């Protein structure tokens, strides 16, 4: 499965142009997805021209957040008619379901477990 994940407000708290604190359970869920073979695209509006994208890449590396592409389709996906990346699932703080309570990575993990996206079962993390 290809999963596109927004950065600001989704992986980290909204603090643009700075990088906010990582959201609770985001690292665990992204690493589970990556570890089970799902393709991760970081989908962001951070501008290239003011080093925002470079700062994000550096942060992802320093925080050991795995991904396959940033703002690009996974190799072999032939979608070339649109700037929107092609994904099976999009995780974004601007999603209508996140408008009231924000992005909840514990809930996202539960959805992925309940729908079979995660093949391996892990003990539920405690909310901290």
Residue 124 lies in a domain: no
45-73: pLDDT as tens digits: 988 777 889 999 999 999 999 999 999 99
In a domain, 111, yes or no: no
Domain membership flag for residue 79: no
The pTM score is 0.88
Closest CA to 66 of 119, 108, 27, 109: 27
Residue 109 has pLDDT above 70, yes or no: yes
CB atoms within 10 A of CB 82: 8
Residue 128 has pLDDT above 80, yes or no: no
Does any domain span residue 100?
Answer: no
Residue 107 dihedral angles phi and psi, to the nearest 5°: -70, -40
Query: Considering its fold, how many domains does the chain have in total?
Result: 1
With CA atoms as reference, report the closest residue to 59 among 83, 72, 36, 42: 42
Residue 3 three-state SS: strand
């Amino acid at each position: 499965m290809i999963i596109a994940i927004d950065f600001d407000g989704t992986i980290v708290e909204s603090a643009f142009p700075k990088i906010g604190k990582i959201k609770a359970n985001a690292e665990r869920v992204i690493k589970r997805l990556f570890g089970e073979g799902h393709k991760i695209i970081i989908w962001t509006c951070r501008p290239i021209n003011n080093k925002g994208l470079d700062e994000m890449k550096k942060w992802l590396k320093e925080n050991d957040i795995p991904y396959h592409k940033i703002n690009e389709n996974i190799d072999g996906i032939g979608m070339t008619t649109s700037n929107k990346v092609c994904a099976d699932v999009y995780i974004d703080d601007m999603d209508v379901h996140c408008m009231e309570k924000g992005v909840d990575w514990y809930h996202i993990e539960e959805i992925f477990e309940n729908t079979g996206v995660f093949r391996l079962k892990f003990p539920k993390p405690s909310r901290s």
